[in-house]
Amino acid sequence: MDQLFPYVNSLHTLAAVIWVGGMVFAWGFLRPSLGFLEPPQRLGVWSRVFPKFFMWVWIAVLVIPATGYFMVFYDFGSFEAAGHHVELMHIIGWIMIVLFVYLYVAPYKKFKAAIHDEAWPVAAGHLNTIRRIVATNMVLGLINVITGVSGRFWG
């Protein structure tokens, strides 16, 4: 099992980077860059971006807990042995997953329906809800990144 740890750790890290980095890009760079577009065009861009990004988030939602539990139980032996920073990452990670699943099954589903119906103000309202959830998850993800990198030095 020891020989698997570097691969599992790398897979865990890559999944986190894709998810958190994607949120940073979408929220911090893509969103403000689309402001000059009219609502139908702006919403159309998001309707093409979300399916591609969310496919990768679903992969991350499966990979991150699986690899995280592998590391906790096969490398550290238990949560207690892993340290408080790993417990914190675990809690924040599950909050992020719950928020993403909610985003996907509620506002995103309604967003897609509104786009299909060309109900631009309704779609914009759902996009605003998605934006707030992504912003929350982005902050939580960045906290987890900082925790993952610095937690072992907490004492």
Cβ atoms 40, 120 nearer than 8 A = yes
Helices 107-116 and 120-150, axial angle in degrees (round to 10): 150
Q: For residue range 12-33, list pLDDT tens digits in order.
A: 999 999 999 999 999 999 999 9
Asked whether residue 101 is domain-assigned, the answer is yes
| Domain range enclosing 144 | 2-150
Number of domains, the chain: 1
User: What is the distance between the alpha carbons of residues 70 and 68, in angstroms, rounded to a whole number?
Assistant: 5
Phi-psi label, residue 51: left if phi above 0, alpha if psi -120 to 50, beta otherwise: alpha
Asked whether residue 155 is domain-assigned, the answer is no
Q: For residue range 20-77, list pLDDT tens digits in order.
A: 999 999 999 999 999 999 999 999 999 999 999 999 999 999 999 999 999 999 989 9
Which pTM was predicted? 0.95
Q: For residue range 97-123, list pLDDT tens digits in order.
A: 999 999 999 999 999 999 999 999 999
Q: Does residue 106 sit in helix, strand or coil? A: coil
Q: How many residues does the chain have?
A: 155
